[in-house]
């Protein structure tokens, strides 16, 4: 059953994971394994396309990889030695399945399957122009824009057409493309979204995170560099850099929250960085207390770092049910509220009468923090001090992360004092932006060309944002607020 | 779950039914009712699109109209005063749902939904050219070609673009198109496939057959004429004839088999024509016997005609289970064979020791006839005489009817004597081609520009067949064979 | 998912079909075929149990045999050389699947699977007593009572226990029982419900109707006699008659409507009997008219009989869609009403300006007749004469046929004049009860011990009706009414 | 679809959770919430029965509570102020749904719904006797035995019948029973399985663990005592103790693994006990190392205890995917193996070149430990020391815990040296049985009447085991082995 409401989903933002295998007899099975390891990057839907030398095969499903792509019949229906896959967060409405990636099209150059992590920030403008010239879109996904640009390019070879398309798009994109001629992996010139490359018995593998290489037994070779196209044809691997070189700006939130702690992002252990942020937080914002308690599970490494630095014991004061997913990733405000109640329970026997430090990775709307502080008080906590392992999240992301509109971000509405009141904590501190860069091995955030995209904290967007006319205004507002702090 | 095998389905032929309503508060519900009445024209899938003044809504499903489109929630999800629907025969493979109509696209002129009965005989050639210029196809349906021609037309208004598209296509098409500007119904210049127009409380209705008007309580106004476009905008109904006038050639098989007996096709009662064919058959091919027995259910009217003309009693000698569909319409040879065994049972108490005349509408592969003759003999019939209410089917249809390739048509391989042997009948006769025209009120088949498309009997195709290079050769073969008779 | 509402379904009546095979390698497949041929006896649910020499296997499903029991995996999961099956009409509510037969229990004597056509008219009383003594019922089916009687019998052998159980029950039952020791088929002492026996390559087959033997290629051996138990153990077939002999009273409605026309019931062709009823009706209630028109499909044989006797041409004036089931058999008043509109359409071109005789098998509530008469008038019929091939249905059935409560039977509320007014016909006649017996080869209905159960027409119930205290009163009402005629 | 293979599932053992609410308008919704909090006690299936004052309503489903019992329509279909629920582990085969609890029966005393945690160790013997006397079982569950004992009891009142039944069964049982007269909660005389009682706004609640009370906002009142029946009728709560008093023997494994760390079991915090076991382990089996690393998630509290006692830093060296369940609880050896690979990944950046102490709760087959040690070595660990927070598991449980047969328990086949070799660790130690009792506040395990059931460690079964004739032999083998240590 398909019900089409054209353009009902006018937001094209999502956070995703991609995985590609070229040159393995178990290509689709490896992709399934890799996507399972990337499940935290997108729980709403998943898809795999394979190429058997003659035909492309695609299977897409709403829901988790497990239950959909761990079935023999599904994997058998995806034959071939090349395959690409995608996990996706939050496709709403009944148009959902059309938006699930990999997207596929029959071009005059042959089949073309693409998996995309990121967001094209001029997709709307390009789309309007393409439709005017006669292109027909099947989905509301920004990724489809890339395909139509390739299809209608005046160049002759697929590679020239693809580069022609990339040069017209702006924003963040880590892409894995599968064609009859081979597999192409590429990252936008700023390298905003991650993409790594691995090897397994002669097969070449691309993945959003190294953890996906680990899980399928592959070795981590290197990152795909910002602005680089890696082309795999049979056993040959070539590299092309069609863009003018730019200082990279990888998304700093990968270390704060997105990536799994057992991943290596940009050559740094995510776990180690998170512990370092926690330690930095203990230095910047110490407080006397009985226990350091992580908000599970994402707050655990920073809490361990805080506990080790401060000497205050690390304890499990909040028990998380193992039968529900991560807090941040459930769509819909209502579900999120219900989720908090069911997912976390106070370890009352431990908490009662104690002064506790709660460590969490970030505050978005603040509703979760409010409930957790309340839960600690209900369990008898004498004092509740909240420590956040990132700076205040004040700005929307336009590079593929599903953030709420600015008006719903707690830090866009309140200074830290107001936020402390809102969540009813005895104290609240965030790590400083310079502290965050320190945990990543920098002396501080550079005023010009900082090493990361930290726009969600600073409003300093590294690209133009053609589809988002309101951003200038947003930035002003941000500046205003930041002066208040 | 969607699995895409591009081009796995390289045959674009089907027999279908279309239905459209403009100007009713119950548009989608009426379309559901109308499609149910047209279910015999396509049992494999159905779809309805509605337009609510702002958005298009589409629901498609594999299977019957009943069970899919008689549910309140489905109809409620199809709001608006305009709606078009489609029933479709035989979409194989897992690409199925993408091929189910109405097809929908967002064009620069707005939404465009189309339901098509017929077959575009140069669709392949047009498609190759469109893909070369950058169009991306979502389906393997020939109908999508029309949409891309509209999308890429150089004309400005939708109507001009649509006419531009029609002028590029050849073959058979009865189309109902729904756009924000109104509904357009049209028929190809030869009027090969049927399309009628009705009224119900101010709403305008288009349908493949009059029976669909009856079932929803509408009055039959007139046929949409060959080569005519009827445009409905609000309460205004306009007619355009953009093609050079041609002598119409409606498909004669509508009277032989496709249309329901209670339909009026081309101003003639289908039931009355079928009875007249039976009577003509009794005149052309009399035989002494005890009973006239119809092959149920499609042979019944001709059998009544034969019985009334010959004076031999009409009896039910074959009982048909009511829990399976029509013989001809089930896809897959294997199912068809199994189907015959389960669907028909001899009324042994009646048959035993009797000479019987079996009346059927047509012989395609001959396997069904073989089994039914054998079933009569097993039940003790003394003699079995087969009478067929159409001439021998010797040629494939390229105008939207799913006929097997020529090599599988019994009449393309054998003369009547050979066919009699093949089905093990005591005698076998077909109505003559002139007899068939007589039953339709003509003196005989005109040698030049006969009044109907009878290519399946004569090989006389009324259009060029661009995608079918082998047809010339086929025709020669047909001539050869026909001389043999 | 199961939701249990104990006793929500306080009516235990249904019309069913049973089929059993002993001694075939394809036992379950043959049962599936047989049940498909008996589908008209119960469309709501079906089930098959097989015994492989060690274990019993059961599969039950809501819906038709086709789609559920024509799948290879289902049949493969039903191994063994013995199998019994059941089709069932109208199990309402979500307790449905527990009531679908064959019912199965592990008794101390081993497994016990039973398929039952009929109704135990003291089941409620027996059930209350069994529950009092500690039996736990799984279903609301009267058939389960039989199993508990067997389970708690004081006799030692299964056969003695089974006969002990049968002697405690009253009403109508044709049973096929499968145990590790063999298969038992039996019919109640009056033989109210049918049961026949056939052979196929050494296998013994039991079926509700001969048509099910035909369809699977078996030969019809004989009826299971009223009061007879046929026991099949390996290749041995024994017969036991544990009841005092009684004059049989088979249900006369099997010839009127239930059985398929191609069945032989009680050694008479159902088709021939129906034609004879139609002829008798033409003699008893002649009328001048242009056409004899059957209400399809059940009225067709009687209409042919009427036409042949009267000399008035038989014509198809009502066209029935082939994609819906029989009128009588759909549960729920609302569906039935909707059904009529969609299922039948007037052949307007034929009807217009003509005087017609409509022939139908029976009138239950009268709502269908009312609509069909109106449909004929809307199509322009000059006169509409209704002829019914059974006497007025004035009484509920307590022997396994789902009849509405008396208050809803049209003939229980009106005399024939009132009924004529109700359905708006120009005239209405029923065949007389003696005429019905004549069509069955009798001189007339015997006043004492008539040869059939005709309680639905006469109120003359051949058994006591322990669970139905209100019947005496009902019968008085019947007598009263019958005097009015 | 139901396929019945009688007795195919001859093992009646399972670990489960129960939850009951009496006197709340949201009874079923509270039960759903409570079952969700108890999901770790049984992931395979769940069920809820409610009583609305007139009727019982039951919904059962395979799979988790979330997804099945968080839907409005399901909860609305379970009306009434009383409800009981059950989560269940490992019902194999297609008979599954019949075994899902609560079980329900219509008795002569009215409806009877029961949810059971535990295992009746003479269920087989009782069942054979009940079947001999005519009882018909619907399921293979030992719980159904209780219902038939109640149904066939010679006592008059339901309470007397229920006590009569309890006196005939042996083994472990925590039961919540719902009848039209009220709710009964009871625990076997030894209190082997847990059951607690809480209050919420006047409603009385029973649950397997206190965490389920927390989650739905109820207050913890007290344990249901071993051998106690608590009867709730309206607002009245009564207590009955029909058994001779015995020294309780609650299952010690609840503190080791089963209960959630945030539960209070037998008045002790499960989290605190687990930390104390870890600390005791550090005292009993110290080793020089760089990190203490928990096997997530069940090993975390003991690892924190070990780290705090030893002063060695606690670190996350193994990252667990959040999208799969607990290790122990997945049925099927094959799934378990696959599960380990996908669920845990080494935090390579941390582990490389380090000496690590792995802390886990228990070793069953040893296959998981083997893989985790190997994973640590593959990640470059210099030394891997395994510390287990329970004594060696040498004996099967017959009280409702699904343990493999003895021959598959690693500790039943090897001494600790052999186990160390098997898992390829540098060292392996288990906490001593006395150390375990110490962590629970005892001086040591008492030789006579120890305070807990620790049969899985010691083979000292506190009840007779009627259905398990092989146990004596098993115990001898156990003794033999224990001498080897």
d(CA B204, CA B185): 11
| DSSP output for A310-342 | H-PPB---EEE-TTS--STT--SHHHHHHHHHH
Which of A34-38, A341-345, A373-377, A409-413 shows the lowest mean pLDDT across its residues?
A341-345
- Same-domain status, D175 and D232: yes
Q: B104 in contact with C at a CB cutoff of 8 Å?
A: no
Q: D243 in contact with C at a CB cutoff of 8 Å?
A: no
With bands split at pLDDT 50, 70 and 90, how would you rate the model's confidence at B484?
very low
Q: Which of C313, C315, C322 sits opposite B297 (nearest CB)?
A: C322
Structure tokens at C225: 């006699």
- Same-domain status, D223 and D296: no
Average pLDDT over residues C264-284: 97
Compute the mean pLDDT over every residue in chain C, rounded to the nearest whole number: 87
Q: C277 in contact with D at a CB cutoff of 8 Å?
A: no
Contact: chain C with chain D (3+ CB pairs below 8 Å): yes
d(CA A403, CA A392): 13
Q: Which of A1, A60, A107 sits opposite B59 (nearest CB)?
A: A1
- Same-domain status, B380 and B460: yes
- Same-domain status, B442 and B385: yes
Cβ separation of A269 and D36 shorter than 8 Å?
A: no
Q: Say if D1 falls within a structural domain.
A: no
Which of A352-361, C329-338, C376-385, D164-173 shows the lowest mean pLDDT across its residues?
C329-338
**Which residues of chain B are within 8 Å of residue C66 when distances are taken between CB atoms?**
323-324, 342
Phi/psi at B127 (nearest 5 deg)? Answer: -60, -45
Is B273 buried (19+), middle (13-18) or exposed (0-12) by CB count in 10 A?
buried
Q: Say if C220 falls within a structural domain.
A: yes
- Same-domain status, A275 and A238: no
Is B73 buried (19+), middle (13-18) or exposed (0-12) by CB count in 10 A?
exposed
Contact: chain A with chain C (3+ CB pairs below 8 Å): no
With bands split at pLDDT 50, 70 and 90, how would you rate the model's confidence at A344?
confident
- Same-domain status, B342 and B441: yes
Q: Which of B66, B271, B315 sits opposite C350 (nearest CB)?
A: B271
Nearby residues of B334 by Cβ (< 8 Å), 6 or more positions away: none
Nearby residues of A397 by Cβ (< 8 Å), 6 or more positions away: A13, A253, A403, A455, A456
Tell me which of C212, C263, C348 to substitute to probe the interface with B (most B C-beta atoms closer than 10 Å).
C348
Interface of C with D in 118-157 (CB under 8 A): 131-138, 147-148, 151-153
Q: Find tokens 């159904």 and name the residue.
A: D144
Tell me which chains share at least 3 CB pairs under 8 Å with chain D: A, C
Asked whether residue C167 carries a pLDDT value surpassing 50, the answer given is yes
Cβ separation of C301 and B316 shorter than 8 Å?
A: yes
Give me the residues paired with residue A85 across strands: A19, A48
Q: Looking at B218, B248, B278, which one is the last position of a domain?
A: B248
d(CA D366, CA D409): 8
Which of C92-96, C210-214, D50-54, D153-157 shows the lowest mean pLDDT across its residues?
C92-96
Contact (Cβ atoms closer than 8 angstroms) between residue B326 and residue B364: no
Sign of the CA dihedral with B129 first, then B131, B133, and B135 last:
positive
Q: Please report which residue ranges of B264-353 form alpha helices under DSSP H.
A: 270-284, 300-310, 333-343, 348-351
Q: Looking at CA atoms only, how far is residue B209 from chain C in angstroms?
A: 13
Q: Say if D309 falls within a structural domain.
A: yes
- Same-domain status, D199 and D79: yes
With bands split at pLDDT 50, 70 and 90, how would you rate the model's confidence at A323?
low
- Could you give the ipTM of this predicted complex? 0.87
Q: Say if B253 falls within a structural domain.
A: no
Confidence (pLDDT) at A322: 61
Q: Looking at C248, C280, C296, which one is the last position of a domain?
A: C248
* C-beta neighbour count of D262 within 10 angstroms: 29
- Predicted TM-score (pTM) of this structure: 0.83
Residues C109-128: tens digit of each pLDDT: 999 999 999 999 999 999 99
Q: What CATH number did the domain enclosing D136 receive? A: 3.60.20.10
With bands split at pLDDT 50, 70 and 90, how would you rate the model's confidence at B469?
low
Which of A132-141, B224-233, C451-460, D9-18 shows the lowest mean pLDDT across its residues?
D9-18
Cβ separation of D262 and A37 shorter than 8 Å?
A: no
Q: Say if D10 falls within a structural domain.
A: no
- Same-domain status, C281 and C210: no
Q: A324 in contact with D at a CB cutoff of 8 Å?
A: yes
Interface of B with C in 164-223 (CB under 8 A): 211, 214-215
- Same-domain status, B39 and B172: yes
The one catalytic residue in D12, D16, D48, D465 is D16
Which range marks the domain in which residue C168 is found?
16-248
Q: Which residue is closest to C326 within chain B, CA to CA?
A: B322
**Which residues of chain A are within 8 Å of residue D329 when distances are taken between CB atoms?**
none
Asked whether residue A476 carries a pLDDT value surpassing 70, the answer given is no
Confidence (pLDDT) at D99: 81
- Same-domain status, A286 and A186: no
Q: Say if A31 falls within a structural domain.
A: yes
Cβ separation of C342 and B33 shorter than 8 Å?
A: yes
The one catalytic residue in C12, C16, C29, C307 is C16
Residues A242-284: tens digit of each pLDDT: 999 999 999 999 999 999 999 999 989 999 999 999 999 999 9
Q: C273 in contact with B at a CB cutoff of 8 Å?
A: no
**Which residues of chain A are within 8 Å of residue D341 when distances are taken between CB atoms?**
215
State yes or no: is A186 an active-site residue. no
Structure tokens at D117: 């945690």
Q: B444 in contact with C at a CB cutoff of 8 Å?
A: no
> Mean pLDDT per 10-residue run, chain D (485 residues)?
28 70 95 90 91 95 85 90 91 59 94 95 94 92 94 96 96 97 97 97 96 91 97 96 94 94 94 98 98 93 98 95 42 39 84 97 91 94 98 92 82 96 98 98 94 96 83 40 31
Asked whether residue B249 carries a pLDDT value surpassing 70, the answer given is yes
Q: Please report which residue ranges of B220-269 form alpha helices under DSSP H.
A: 253
Show which residues of B are catalytic: 16
Closest to D402 (Cα-Cα) out of D331, D300, D347:
D331
Q: D61 in contact with C at a CB cutoff of 8 Å?
A: yes
Q: Say if A56 falls within a structural domain.
A: yes
Interface of B with C in 336-395 (CB under 8 A): 341-342, 345-350
Cβ separation of C345 and B40 shorter than 8 Å?
A: no
- Same-domain status, A276 and A148: no
Q: What CATH number did the domain enclosing B460 receive? A: 3.40.50.2020
Residues B267-277: tens digit of each pLDDT: 899 999 999 99
- Same-domain status, C281 and C225: no
Question: Binding-site residues of C for Mg(2+), please?
Answer: 298, 360-361
Q: Looking at CA atoms only, how far is residue C328 from chain B in angstroms?
A: 13
Which of B131-140, B389-398, C148-157, D395-404 shows the lowest mean pLDDT across its residues?
D395-404
Residues C328-366: tens digit of each pLDDT: 333 333 333 444 456 789 999 999 999 999 999 999 999
Contact (Cβ atoms closer than 8 angstroms) between residue D380 and residue D419: no
**Which residues of chain A are within 8 Å of residue B7 when distances are taken between CB atoms?**
106
More confident residue, A65 or C8: A65
Which of A427-431, B126-130, B380-384, C59-63 shows the lowest mean pLDDT across its residues?
C59-63
Closest to C286 (Cα-Cα) out of C425, C424, C427:
C427
d(CA B303, CA B434): 19
Confidence (pLDDT) at A50: 97
Structure tokens at C303: 């209409």
Domain count, chain D: 2
Compute the mean pLDDT over every residue in chain A, rounded to the nearest whole number: 87
Give me the residues paired with residue A220 across strands: A198
Confidence (pLDDT) at D344: 82
Q: Find tokens 């989720």 and name the residue.
A: A339
Q: Say if C339 falls within a structural domain.
A: yes
Confidence (pLDDT) at D6: 29
Confidence (pLDDT) at D62: 87
């Amino acid at each position: 059953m398909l019900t089409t409401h054209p353009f009902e989903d006018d937001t094209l933002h999502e956070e995703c994971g991609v995985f590609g295998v070229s040159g393995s007899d178990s290509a689709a099975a490896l992709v399934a394994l890799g996507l399972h390891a990337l499940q935290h990057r997108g729980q709403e839907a998943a898809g795999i396309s394979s190429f058997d030398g003659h035909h492309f095969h695609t299977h897409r499903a709403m829901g988790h990889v497990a239950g959909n792509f761990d079935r023999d019949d599904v994997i058998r229906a995806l034959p071939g030695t090349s395959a690409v896959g995608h996990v996706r967060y939050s496709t709403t409405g009944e148009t959902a399945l059309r938006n699930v990636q990999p997207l596929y099209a029959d071009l005059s150059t042959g089949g073309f399957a693409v998996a995309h992590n990121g967001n094209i920030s001029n997709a709307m403008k390009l789309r309007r122009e393409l439709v005017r010239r006669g292109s027909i879109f099947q989905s509301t996904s920004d990724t489809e824009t890339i395909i139509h640009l390739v299809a209608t390019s005046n160049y002759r070879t697929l590679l020239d057409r693809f580069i022609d398309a990339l040069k017209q798009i702006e924003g963040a994109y880590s892409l894995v493309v599968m064609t009859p001629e081979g597999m192409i992996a590429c990252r936008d010139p700023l390298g905003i979204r991650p993409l790594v490359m691995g090897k397994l018995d002669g097969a070449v593998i691309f993945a959003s995170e190294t953890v996906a290489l680990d899980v399928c037994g592959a070795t981590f070779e290197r990152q795909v560099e910002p602005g680089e196209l890696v082309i795999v044809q049979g056993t040959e691997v070539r590299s092309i850099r069609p863009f003018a070189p730019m200082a990279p700006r990888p998304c700093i939130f990968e270390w704060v929250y997105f990536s799994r702690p057992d991943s290596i992002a940009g050559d740094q252990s995510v776990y180690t960085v998170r512990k370092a942020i926690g330690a930095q937080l203990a230095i910047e914002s110490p407080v006397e207390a009985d226990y350091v308690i992580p908000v599970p599970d994402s707050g655990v490494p920073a809490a361990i770092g805080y506990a080790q630095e401060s000497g205050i014991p690390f304890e499990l004061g909040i028990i998380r049910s193992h039968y529900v997913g991560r807090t941040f990733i459930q769509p819909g405000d209502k579900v999120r509220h219900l989720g908090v109640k069911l997912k976390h329970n106070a370890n009352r026997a431990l908490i009662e009468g104690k002064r506790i430090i709660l460590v969490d990775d970030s505050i978005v709307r603040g509703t979760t923090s409010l409930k957790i502080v309340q839960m600690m008080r209900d369990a008898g906590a004498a004092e509740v001090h909240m420590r956040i392992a990132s700076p205040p999240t004040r700005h929307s992301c336009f590079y593929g992360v599903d953030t709420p509109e600015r008006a719903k971000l707690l830090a866009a509405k309140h200074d830290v004092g107001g936020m402390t009141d809102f969540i009813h904590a005895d104290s609240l501190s965030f790590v400083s932006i310079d502290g965050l860069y320190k945990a990543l091995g920098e002396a501080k955030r550079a005023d010009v060309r900082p090493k990361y995209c930290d726009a969600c904290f600073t409003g300093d967007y590294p690209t133009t944002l053609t589809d988002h006319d309101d951003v200038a205004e947003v930035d002003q507002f941000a500046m205003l607020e930041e002066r208040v702090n």
